[in-house]
Structure 1
C-alpha cells in the first residue's frame, strides 16, 4: 500500500444512498431535509441511471440529476456520483450484442438484470468511456460533487466471462505475457496430457472438457480476468482524473476474481467497501456471538489497501433479493433477519472503528419495484418513524461527538494476515484443500481478535515493501502454496529484524506459474523454516489432534497433516501429533531466524488450535495489565498523536462485564472507569487509560 491510497477528509462523511430516479420529484425536497435533520452530510447517487443520463446513444440528459444535486446543495448535502457502467441500458445491448457476457458453457447473459456485459468488447468500452467522460465534464465544476464511485461492485454476481471478445483478449494477454508459445508451454506444463500448443490460434479460455483443466492455464485465466476488470476500472479512472483531478475516485469492493490491491494501486484513490453484516448472520458454521463480527475481517482487508476508506453501502435493514425463479446463477432468493435493536448502530460503529472515515447507509427508502424490494432501507414506503431511522440518528449523534477523533486517529496494528491474488486463485483451483485455506484465515483472524490484537490483512505482492511490514509483531500467511524466491527473501528480512512469520501447511512447494518445485517439501521455504515435510496425508475425519509442549493441551488438527522433520539447530518443536502411525511426530516447528522466528504448521488452523499456537508464540492480550475484557467483546486500539484509546464493541445479546484493573475514562466526557462495568447488548464504549 502506498501512503496516498487513502480517503483524505477533514470531517466525517456520513449519509445515505439515494436514487432520485426512483421517486416522484415532490418527495425529494422533504427527503433531503430529513436527511440533514438526522445529521447526514453526504448522499450517493447515479450508479444505476445510465438510461437517464443517456436515454439513447449519443444523446445525453443531466436535467434530473442537476435538479436533485441542486436540492442537495440547498440542504447542505454533498454528493458522491457513481458511474453507471454496471447496468448498461437496453439500447446498448440491443445494438451491440457482442457486449453481452457468456457463461462457461457459452450461454448468453441477456439484458434484464445487471453485470450482463463483459470487460473486453470494444463497443461496450467505447460507450462506457463516453458516458464517464460526459459526466466528468458536466460535473467537474460542481462544488457539491465531492467524489466519484467507479462502477458498482465489480464482479458481483458473475465474476467470469467467456464471450468471443474475451477469448481474443485472453490470447493477446498470453502473447504479451509469454512472448512465445515455447515459454507458455513451459509455464503451463502442457507436455502433460498432450496439451502442447503449436499455434496461437489454439490458445483459448478454459472451456468445457471431460475432466480436469490445466492448473497453470486456470491460474492465468484468473489473472487475465483480474487484469481485464482493472483495465475496465482504469478506463474510467483516467477519464475522471483527466477532467476532475480535484475529486476523489473510489470503488465499493471486494468481489471475486479481482486483485483488489492491484486495483487500488492502479485505478483508485482509495478502496471502499459495502458492509452487510447480516450476510454473516446467515452462516451456520460460525458461533452465534461471532457471526456479524466476522465482517471486521473484511474491513481489515480494505484497511490493508487503504488505511482510511469509505463504506459506500452500510446495512440499514434486512437485505434480500428475489426474482431468481428461472435462473440457475447467483445466491438464490433470500431475506435476511431484521437487525435487532442496537445492531444497526453497532455495525456502523464496527465500520468506523476499523478505519472508515465515511459511511453511507444503503438506502434511504426501500425501493418499490425490481429485484430489491426485499432490500430494506432506513425508511419504509410510508415514511413513518421507525427504530432503524432512530438508530441511524443515534449514530449521527455519535459522529458529532467522535467524528474528529475518528478522522484524526489511526488504528494501531499488532498483527497481519498475508494473502495474495495468486494463492487466493489457487485455493479455487486446488479444490480439495481450498475451503480449508479460507477456514484457516478466518480462524486466525478470530483467534487474534479474541486476544484483542488488531489484525490487518496485507497483499504480499503489490505491497513488496519491507518498511510496510515493520510495525507488525507477527505475520500469518495461511495460504502460501505459490511462492517465489523474492517472496521468501522479503519474509526472511522481516524475521531477521525480529518479527514472527507463521506459515500454514502445503506452503512454498509451487512457483508463481503453478508448477511444483523439484525440491523437498516445503520447497523454497525449506531453508527459511529449517524444516522438511517428510510425509503428508488427508484426514477424512476430525479425529486428528496435536499437543502443544508449552501447555500440554491437545487441539484439533483436522483435514490434512504434514509430518515435519526439523533439521536446523535453531528449530524447536511446538506441537506433536497424538495418534495414528505418526503419533509423536512434529506438527508445528518454530525456527530462530536472526532476532525473530519462522513457524511452520503442518496442519490447518482451526478455532481450537489457534489459541494454543498464539500462546506458544508468546502473543498475549495487550490490555491484560489494564483491563479484563471478555473475548466476546471486540477491541480496536487507535492512536491520535500520542493519545491512545480503545473502542469496545459487544456483538452479543447479553451484557458483557469489562473489568478495569486501574483507572480509565470514557470518551469524550472523561467519566471515570474502575472496577466492573457492564457493556450492554449491541453497544459500544470508547475509553482510554486515565491520564496521569
Structure 2
C-alpha cells in the first residue's frame, strides 16, 4: 500500500508554498531562520519551476533546487516537492503550439498565465513524464522529501480543451465507454433534431452551435475532460511511485470552490495517497466560516473520513476577487484550526514570502511585504505554536452527525442550458441546507448518492437532478432500515445520460417519498408563495413550486397561494422503519430550520440549543483520545457545557463543567476517559 503520511513529518504540518526562485539566494537563509521562528514544519516547493529546472529542451539545472532542499533539511523543514507540470516553459509552447488549449468557440489560448494546457496533447504528456522522471530519479532519496505534489489545482483555469487532439481523444474515450456508435446514439438521444451518427469519426467535441447543443453530449464531454486530467495525474503518480517508493503522492484539490466544479472529486479521492485541499474565503457578504466548515467537511468526505491536509489557504486577504478585505485579528487562527477540527493534519498557506512581482503580489502571505513587524507575522508565529501544541491529535478522525448527498456530475447536468428555471441553483441549495445543519450544530459528512449511508441517522438531499436507479434503491433501503431522509425539489429527474426517467417525476424517488409530481411551476423573479403548516405556522417559498400528488405521503405544509395553492408543499412518508421528507419549494433559512427540526426529531438527534449561534463544537477521536474543538466566531465570550473533565491543549488549563471560550478564540479540550 502507498504511504499516506508525509515522510519524516512527526508533528502537524505547518507552513506554505515556498517560491525561493523569486528571490536572491541570500534571502533563503533569512527565510529558513524565520521559518524556524514561526514553527514551520513543511513547505511546498518547485510547483511553478519547470522553466528554471529545464531552461532549454533536455538541458537541466538542478543545482539551485539541490541547495534549497539541503538548506531546508539542515533546518529540520520537510519538503512537499512539486512536479512543475502546470506551467510548461515558453520554449515548449514555441516548439509545440498545439499544446495550448482551444476554447469551445475555437479561440486558442496564449502562453503567459498558468494552466494553459491541452491535456490530450501527446507532446505535453511526453514532456510532463520526462521532467517528472528526472525529478523522481534525482530526489527520491533526498532526506528533506516528505511528499510529492503533482501539478497544481487541476481544472483551474482550463478544464476542457476543444482542439482536434481532444476530438480524437474524445472519440477514443467514447469507443472505450460505449463500444458502438449505436450505443452513443441511444445514450445521447440523437434521434432528436436529427443528430444521429453513423461512425465515431463523425463526432466532435460540443463546440459552439447556433442554438443549444445536445445536453447528453455536453455532459459526457465534462466526464471525458475530467477523466483526461485524471489520466495525466495518474501517469505522473505512477512514475513517482515506481522511482520514489514510500513517499506519498498528492495533488491539491479545491473541493468546495465553484471555480473548480469541473472536477469529480469522488473519482479523484481514491487516486491520491493523501487528500489535500486549497480553500479561500469567498467574501460575498455571507458567513465565510460556514463555507469554510463545508469545504473541510467535504474534503474529509472525499478522503473517506480519513485525515487529510489543508495545503493552501490565506493568512489574510487574497487578490482575485472584486474586493479582497483583510482578515480580522484572530481570524487566521480560527480559520486554520477550524480546518484542523474537521480533519486536517495541519494548516499550510499560499504562500511563505509575499511576492513583489506577478499577478499575485497583493495576495497575503506568512511573511508580508512589511516583514516581521506586522500583525500578520505575529499571528503566524502564535499560530505555529498553537498548531505544534495540537500534534497529539494526529491520526484521529472527525465525528459526524448527518450526511448530505453531493454529486458533481449531477451539477454538471443541471447547469446545462434550457432547464425549467435559471434561478434554481443546485450549489445555492447545497449551501443553504448545509448552513441550516451547521446552525443546528450538526457536523456533516458528504456522501455520494450510491454510498453506504447506514451510519447516519439523517441524510439530506439539497439538489440531485441526476440520479441513477442504483442511487434511488440505496435511498429507499436507507429509509426502510430506519433512516430519516430529507429531499429538496427537482431531484431524481434524469438518469446518467440526462434522459428523464420513465414515468412520473421524481423517478427513482417516487417510492421512497410516497408521491409523484405532475408538473413543475417555477416562479418569476420576486414572486413568493405562502406555505401553511401545523398549528397555524406559516413559511415562505420562492423560485419554485410544483404540483405534488401524495401516494402514501402525509401532507405537513400546504401551498396557501400561487398556482399550486391547496397542493402539498412539504410532505412526510413513513416507509419501513424510517421516514422521508420532501420539500417542493425553495425555503428561506427559517423554513429549512423548521423542516430539519422535524426531521431531526424523527432521526432522534437531540437539540443542541445550549450552543450559541456561530460557536462550533466539533469532535475528533482516535487511539490518543477524544478531542473537543470549540471555535467562537462571535464578538462575545461563550461558555460551552462539557460532558467530562479534560485538559485544554492551547493553554494547558484543566477544564470542567462549562468551558469558557473568549470572543474570537479557539479552545481544544482532550477529554478524560
TM over 0.5: yes
Equivalences for residues 287-366 of structure 1 within 5 A = 290-306=287-303, 307-321=306-320, 334=322, 336-366=324-354
- In 1, Cα distance between equivalents of 2:174 and 2:97: 26
Gaps of 5+ in 2: 255-259
Superimposed CA distance per residue, residues 325-371 of structure 1 (whole angstroms, 9 cap, x where no aligned partner): xxxxxx6xx45111111111111112111111032122111111111
Which residue does 1:420 correspond to in 2?
407
Task: Name the TM-score, length of structure 1 as normaliser.
Answer: 0.90
- In 1, Cα distance between equivalents of 2:642 and 2:154: 48
Task: Sort the Cα spacing of 1:384 and 1:688 in 2 relative to 1 into closer, same or farther, 3 A.
Answer: closer
1:537/1:560 contact within 8 Å kept: yes
Task: Sort the Cα spacing of 1:39 and 1:161 in 2 relative to 1 into closer, same or farther, 3 A.
Answer: same
Secondary structure (helix, strand or coil) at the match of 2:409 reads: helix
Superimposed CA distance per residue, residues 185-220 of structure 1 (whole angstroms, 9 cap, x where no aligned partner): 111111111111223222111111121111111111
Task: Sort the Cα spacing of 1:676 and 1:645 in 2 relative to 1 into closer, same or farther, 3 A.
Answer: closer
Which residue does 2:599 correspond to in 1?
617
Q: Select between 538-547 and 107-116 the one with higher mean Cα deviation.
A: 538-547
1:544/1:556 contact within 8 Å kept: yes
Q: Select between 344-353 and 173-182 the one with higher mean Cα deviation.
A: 173-182
- In 2, Cα distance between equivalents of 1:623 and 1:79: 45
Secondary structure (helix, strand or coil) at the match of 1:686 reads: strand
Q: Select between 15-24 and 70-79 the one with higher mean Cα deviation.
A: 15-24
Asked if 1:498 is matched to 2:502, the reply is no
- In 2, Cα distance between equivalents of 1:35 and 1:370: 23
Equivalences for residues 59-458 of structure 1 within 5 A = 59-254=59-254, 255-265=260-270, 267-277=271-281, 280-281=282-283, 283-284=284-285, 286=286, 290-306=287-303, 307-321=306-320, 334=322, 336-381=324-369, 383-405=371-393, 407-430=394-417, 432-433=421-422, 435-458=424-447
What is the aligned counterpart of 2:580 among 577, 583, 598?
598
2:105/2:207 contact within 8 Å kept: yes
Which residue does 2:531 correspond to in 1?
546
Task: Sort the Cα spacing of 1:659 and 1:122 in 2 relative to 1 into closer, same or farther, 3 A.
Answer: closer
Shift, 1:474, TM fit: 1.2
Asked if 1:488 is matched to 2:493, the reply is no
Which residue does 2:507 correspond to in 1?
523
What is the aligned counterpart of 2:638 among 650, 657, 663?
657
1:17/1:361 contact within 8 Å kept: yes
Shift, 1:54, TM fit: 1.0
Superimposed CA distance per residue, residues 424-462 of structure 1 (whole angstroms, 9 cap, x where no aligned partner): 2112115534752111100111011111100122233xx
Superimposed CA distance per residue, residues 258-287 of structure 1 (whole angstroms, 9 cap, x where no aligned partner): 11121122x31122111222xx22x13x2x
Task: Sort the Cα spacing of 1:658 and 1:562 in 2 relative to 1 into closer, same or farther, 3 A.
Answer: farther
1:427/1:435 contact within 8 Å kept: no
- In 2, Cα distance between equivalents of 1:417 and 1:605: 17
Secondary structure (helix, strand or coil) at the match of 1:618 reads: helix
Task: Sort the Cα spacing of 1:642 and 1:112 in 2 relative to 1 into closer, same or farther, 3 A.
Answer: closer
- In 2, Cα distance between equivalents of 1:140 and 1:643: 35
Task: Sort the Cα spacing of 1:392 and 1:133 in 2 relative to 1 into closer, same or farther, 3 A.
Answer: same
Shift, 1:222, TM fit: 0.8
Task: Sort the Cα spacing of 1:86 and 1:548 in 2 relative to 1 into closer, same or farther, 3 A.
Answer: farther
Secondary structure (helix, strand or coil) at the match of 1:580 reads: coil
1:663/1:673 contact within 8 Å kept: yes
1:655/1:678 contact within 8 Å kept: no
Shift, 1:100, TM fit: 0.4
Secondary structure (helix, strand or coil) at the match of 2:69 reads: helix
Secondary structure (helix, strand or coil) at the match of 2:292 reads: helix
Which residue does 1:567 correspond to in 2?
551
Shift, 1:644, TM fit: 3.8
2:493/2:507 contact within 8 Å kept: yes
Q: Select between 643-652 and 220-229 the one with higher mean Cα deviation.
A: 643-652
Which residue does 2:41 correspond to in 1?
41
Shift, 1:690, TM fit: 7.2
Which residue does 1:647 correspond to in 2?
629
- In 2, Cα distance between equivalents of 1:199 and 1:114: 36
Which residue does 1:327 correspond to in 2?
none
Task: Sort the Cα spacing of 1:621 and 1:470 in 2 relative to 1 into closer, same or farther, 3 A.
Answer: closer
What is the aligned counterpart of 2:463 among 467, 479, 502?
479
Shift, 1:95, TM fit: 0.3
Task: Sort the Cα spacing of 1:196 and 1:434 in 2 relative to 1 into closer, same or farther, 3 A.
Answer: farther
Superimposed CA distance per residue, residues 365-414 of structure 1 (whole angstroms, 9 cap, x where no aligned partner): 11111111111212233533211111111111112322212x14211111
Secondary structure (helix, strand or coil) at the match of 2:21 reads: helix
Task: Sort the Cα spacing of 1:605 and 1:269 in 2 relative to 1 into closer, same or farther, 3 A.
Answer: farther
Task: Sort the Cα spacing of 1:7 and 1:655 in 2 relative to 1 into closer, same or farther, 3 A.
Answer: farther
Which residue does 2:565 correspond to in 1?
583
Shift, 1:575, TM fit: 2.0
Superimposed CA distance per residue, residues 232-280 of structure 1 (whole angstroms, 9 cap, x where no aligned partner): 1111111111111211111111223111121122x31122111222xx2
1:14/1:42 contact within 8 Å kept: yes
- In 2, Cα distance between equivalents of 1:497 and 1:353: 31
- In 2, Cα distance between equivalents of 1:677 and 1:308: 28
Shift, 1:318, TM fit: 1.6
Q: Select between 637-646 and 442-451 the one with higher mean Cα deviation.
A: 637-646
